[in-house]
Structure formats: structure tokens, C-alpha cells
Amino acid sequence: MDNVEDLRGDLLDAVAKAEDLEALDAIRVSALGKKGRITGLMKGLGGMDPEARKAAGQALNAVKDEVAQALDARKADLAAQALEARLVTERVDVTLPSPGETSGAIHPITQTWEEVVAIFAQMGFLVAEGPEIEDDFHNFTALNFPPGHPAREMHDTFFLPTREDGTRHVLRTHTSPVQIRTMVKEKPPIRILAPGRTYRCDSDMTHTPMFHQFEGLVIDKTTHFGHLKGCLQEFMEAYFEVKNLPVRFRPSFFPFTEPSAEMDIGCSRKGGELKIGAGGDWLEILGCGMVHPNVLKACGLDPEEYQGFAFGMGLERIAMLKYGIPDLRTFFDSDLRWLRHYGFAALDLPTVHGGLSR
């Protein structure tokens, strides 16, 4: 029988020098396979006397275990080295421009957001933001929704758990709290646009639990309803890129405005196709009105000195109308095919003078 210690030394040295997993597996087969050196010696134990067989068997088992452990350890080292080499060769520089066939697209919501901001910026509106988790005062009470007021039921609200002081915060149901925070913080004149995410417990083809709104607010000493109508008319004509767009205002009710109105724009539905512009039909587009005196009082403003107007509409709704998107839910499906179809080029930035749409 070969010298067991020499065999042990040869095998451990070969394992340590193995340069890759393939070479290591060849060493394993040559040592422990059916025709391996250790296996061959184990088969020869049967021809020995009992005492010699016992001693040789113990020695061979010890070598077998030690070689197997060395193989496992070397295999783990080589696997880690192979992974490191693969990571180096497959590294991607994310700062490089993507190939044309895999280039990204701007989501219609982002594009519409930028379009709206671009139009109102030319009218002197500043963008204002606020928290999406609101307290009862900013989301309801300051907007003339007193506790128990039935108008609160108009909003399917997501309520957060009750706090230690007994109050409950909500996911804001509109961006109107941004108006409240602005009036409390700043002195008139105020002219802001408040875009952002809002939340209501509703879901169907035209409603989602999370959606985007933008609201406008103007507060000063001389603003009147005629200014509101002119502002919205100018916005609609710029956004839909339709000159002399027919508009009308119908009386309505909102707790935070008085008088309140719904604004309709002209359209045509001939042949089952909706087309914005003169056409003998009307489409409801937004709600608006003069800021209610109670709202001004809640914000520390004297309604005998200040007045103003406010308006609001859904970002998804006007995007659907302009770009022919039939189902609101598809905005949030994360479908790349949909985004490639309705999306915008990264450098297709909207400007009023350069044109808003493609």
C-alpha cells in the first residue's frame, strides 16, 4: 500500500494549487472517485489481517475526510473568485446613455404636471407643496368642514390610527391644505399652484385610491370672479392648444368657496369620438369659486379686507382627455408597453411658446 502520509500530502498540495473549479473537480475524481487513489486503497483493505486492516482503515478515513474538507474549502474560495471576476466583467456604468432601442420615456403624469406648471408660471403662479399626511384642521376644519358637517362625507377618507391625544390624521383628500398652510404662513398678495398626490378610498375605471390634483389660489384685495374666469379660460386654451375654446360656468357647491361653480369646456362627440373645441356639446372639467370668508378667517385673514379665488382639477383626467387615454388605472400598471406608447421623450420639455404637446 502506498504511504498514506505521502498520499495525503500529494492530494492536499494538488487541491491548494487548483486554479479553477474544473481542475478541482478533476482532483476530486482522481482521489475519491470510483477509480480514485483513496478509493482503490480502501478496496485493498479486505486482503489484510484484522489488526492491520483496522489501522490502515482509520488512517485512510482520516485522509479521506481531510481531503474532502480541503476540496469543499477550495471550492468555496474558487466560487467566490469566479463570482468576483464575473461582477467585474459584467459591471454596468449607469451614467452612460442608454441605447436607442432601450431608451426610457417620460410618464404622461410627469409631462402633464410640467405642462400645467409651465402655463401657470407664465401667469405669475408659484408652486407650493405640503405634507401628504394631514391633520383634521388643515384637511377639513379650516376649509369650512366643521365637525359633523355632511360635506365631510363627500370625501372617502383614509384615516390613520388614533394618536395619544385622541386625534386622527388622514391621507390628504385634496391639495387644499396647501392653500391653508400658505395663507397661514404668508401675507397677501398670494398666487400659488399646489400640485400633488391625494388619496380617497375609491377605485374603478375613472377613480383610483391615489391620484394627482393641482389647485390654484389667488388672494389679494381686488380679485373678483371675472379674474377667475379669465385665468381658467387662458389655461384651458393653452393646455388643450385650442383657440377660442368655448367655456361656461354653472352654479355649484363647495364648502370652501362662495359662490362656487363648475367649469365646462366645449366639445364634440360626433361618431363616438370626443374632440375638445367648438362642437355643440359640453364637458365638465373642474370646480372653482371665490374663497369662502370662513376660510379666510380660519387662516387669520380679514374677509372685509381680502378676497380671492380658488380652483382645482385632476391631473390624470386632463391627461386622459388630451392624450386619448381611456382607463385611469393604466397610469399605475407599470406596463412598459403602455409607457412606450403614451410616454414622452426625455428632452421633450413643455413650454408655452415652444408647444406643450408632441
d(CA 171, CA 150): 19
Residue 88 grid cell? 467585474
Residue 262's DSSP bridge partners are: 250, 287
pLDDT value of residue 246: 93
- Over 80: is that where the pLDDT of 230 sits? yes
Coil, strand, or helix at residue 85? helix
- Residue 353 neighbours by CB under 8 Å, 6+ apart: none
- Cell triple for 139: 384637511
- Cβ(293)–Cβ(143) under 8 Å? no
Secondary structure percentages of the chain, helix, strand, coil, to 5: 45, 20, 30
Position 340 confidence tier, pLDDT thresholds 50, 70, 90? confident
Q: pLDDT by residue (tens digit) across 80-114?
A: 888 888 888 887 777 877 666 566 788 999 999 99
Indicate whether 20 pLDDT > 50.
Answer: yes
Cα angle 107-110-113, degrees, rounded to a multiple of 5: 145
Both ends of the chain: CA-CA distance in Å?
A: 86
| 83 compared with 310, residue with greater pLDDT | 310
pLDDT at 159: 82
41-62 pLDDT, tens digit per residue, is 777 777 777 777 777 778 778 8
All cell numbers assigned to 351: 413650454
Q: What percent of the chain has pLDDT over 90?
A: 44
- What pLDDT score was predicted for residue 151? 59
**What are 143-195's pLDDT values in tens digits?**
998 877 765 665 678 888 888 887 888 899 899 999 999 999 999 999 999 99
Domain definitions of the chain by residue range: 4-89, 108-333
Query: Cell 408660471 sits at which residue?
Result: 121
CA gap 9, 240 in Å, rounded: 84
Closest CA to 77 of 6, 28, 15, 140: 15
pTM of the model: 0.67
pLDDT of 6 strictly over 80: no
- Residue 358: the pLDDT is 44
d(CA 119, CA 117): 6
CATH dotted code for 108-333: 3.30.930.10
